[in-house]
Amino acid sequence: MLAGRHVVLAISGGVAAFKAAYLARRLIEAGAEVRTVMTASGCEFLGPQTMAALTGARPVVDLFGQEDVSPHTSLAQWADVIVVAPATAATISRLANGLSSDALAATVLAAQCPVVVAPAMHTEMWEHPATARNVATLRGDGCIIAGPVSGALAGGDEGPGRMLEPDEILEIVTGIFAAGPMTGWRVLVSAGGTREAIDPVRYIGNRSSGKMGNALALAAADAGATVTLVTTVAAPSHDRIEVVAVESAQEMAEAVWGLAPEADVAVLAAAVADFRPAEPAAGKLRRAEGLPQINLEPTPDILAGVGALEKRPYLVGFAAEVGALEGAIDKARRKGLDLLVANDIASPGSGFGTETTEVTIITPDGTPEAWEMLSKSEVAKKLVAEIVRRHGAAGGN
């Protein structure tokens, strides 16, 4: 998997440092050559001799007193990827602010290769605004933030801040060098149900959870695509997913129409409201004022708008149906979609908010292809493979 790759494992001072020894072993088993750099506090949690025995090379623990006159630049030039695991709050702060006060931070600062940062700290430290700012800075600088997850922490505490397990970090590192079938593609995904304001408090909405759209964004990103996710719900974290948060159909339409001309593929899975209040109240409507009359007007047809673009992407639409699929087949033909994904939301296990779904793929000529009940994640992966097969055959990227 990683045959011939040079991995610098950077270990800072947290109790999760013990996992770095196993991570080094797993990287070596995957074919990588591993060297290490450790902070002084990292050496308090994990002996440098342990890492020397595992990797066959003594860790760099200081900028001075080394045989190499510039150990940090030598390591940085040698590395194909640097993995900071564990990355404590202090180390994340130094990396985000470009402080080269120790060998680890200096090595990362001198590097031009991908950097994977695996945070590990107590929940309070992870949730502190300063840490959030520093992590956002590292993301903006191109670092891959791997975790953390919720689980057992030092001192018997539990919560977000636990470092990813070594095998999960290994998978991320492997993915950096594994070109997926969508590598180089730009994919636009919409997710969630829109909210159409009645007044500042109330809205017209639907039951969409956004789970299918989120699964599609993750599947495309895992396949190597650069993904823009336009969504009304909480989005998944992935270094190749850029999130555009919206609320109403109008906001989603403006975002999607602005982004679609630059996309190779658009997968519009959002449940967009067909109607909205024509004149939302400026203030809260009150029961004492009597029953209000709400006049509705159509919302923008986002799918049709993308289909009408002069420069349009390969277009995949979704249709939530109840019972027969004639309406979905008509929609696929009428809007000239490349693919339409229909699901019967009344079918057990296939409704809004479920973990599974049973879909039928409909081609532009109206031909249906029913898939078995699968998890939404499995449907997303299968649909990504279908898009690659069909779009590639049609001369796509």
For residue 88, count other CB atoms closer than 10 A to its CB: 23
Q: Tally DSSP H helices, then E strands, for the chain.
A: 14, 21
User: Residues 151, 156, 157, 160: what is their CA dihedral angle, to the nearest 10 degrees?
Assistant: -20
CA nearest neighbour of 340 among 273, 397, 386: 386
Q: Which of 206, 214, 343, 397 is catalytic?
A: 206
DSSP 75: H
Sign of the four-CA dihedral 170, 165, 15, 86: positive
Residue 397 falls in the annotated catalytic set: no
> By three-state DSSP, how is residue 226 classified?
strand
Q: What is the DSSP letter of 262?
A: G
Answer for the pair 251, 231: CB distance below 8 angstroms, yes or no: no
How far is it, in rounded angstroms, from Cα 101 to Cα 330? 64
Q: Tokens for 351?
A: 């409704």
- Which residue in the block uniquely carries the two structure tokens 């699964």? 215
Distance of alpha carbon 45 from alpha carbon 112, whole angstroms: 28
Rounded distance, CA 88 to CA 2, Å? 26
Measure the CA–CA gap between 210 and 229, rounded to whole angstroms: 11
Instruction: Print burial letters for 254-278: b (CB count within 10 Å at least 16), e (below 16).
Output: bbbeebbeebbbbbbbbbbbeebbe
CA distance 317 to 337: 7
Contacting residues for 46 by C-beta, under 8 A, at least 6 apart: 11, 17, 18, 20, 21, 38
- Two tokens, residue 335: 């809007």
Buried b (16+ CB within 10 A) or exposed e, 26-52: bbbebebbbbbbbbebbbebbebeebe
Active-site residue set:
206
